[in-house]
Amino acid sequence: MITKKEWLEQPGRLSRRMAYHTERLLSLRREADAVASRWGESVCAQCSEAPYVRMLERIETLQEKLKWENELYDRLRAQVEEAIDGLPQEKMRLVLLYHYLEGKSFLQVGELLYMDKGTANRWAVRALEFLVLPENPVTIDGENCNECLRVPADTTPGSVLQ
């Protein structure tokens, strides 16, 4: 069973993972462009089983993974926002939104809400007491985010989430 705090941390973890994959995808595309420009139009004819084709396959796989991660992120974030909206006090909602969804430290949250770091932390602890997890929370399955985001080639985004 996932704790409230672990559940709230998931959008940030997934967002960082997506940023890594996006940067990797851009890097692979630059490498592929460099190879293609080096050999011109003849690269496809010369490289049917060469590293260039494998690079294109890795790009396609990573694009699919990012598509799946984006869908998961959208569903997870929407569910987290809905749960936070159910909190009884505005300060509770703001502290959790800023800290968990915007990735701000409690010091930064305190500055935004004109309170000190300790007060922001106490509001978060209190908010967690009131937060109600959804009946079927969208989660990043598994203990390790690196493990859970390995998407099998035949997996569609909707089938993995439930």
User: Whole domain around residue 119: which residue ranges?
Assistant: 4-138
The H or E element spanning position 154 is none
Q: Are 100 and 12 in contact (CB under 8 A)?
A: yes
Residue 13 lies in a domain: yes
Q: What is the pLDDT along the chain (162 residues), one digit of tens a residue?
A: 899 999 999 999 999 999 999 999 999 998 888 776 665 545 455 555 567 788 889 999 999 999 999 999 999 999 999 999 999 999 999 999 999 999 999 999 999 999 999 999 999 999 999 999 999 999 986 433 444 444 434 434 433 333
pTM of the model: 0.76
Identify the CA nearest to 104 among candidates 125, 118, 120.
Answer: 120
Residue 160 lies in a domain: no
**What is the total count of domains within the chain?**
1
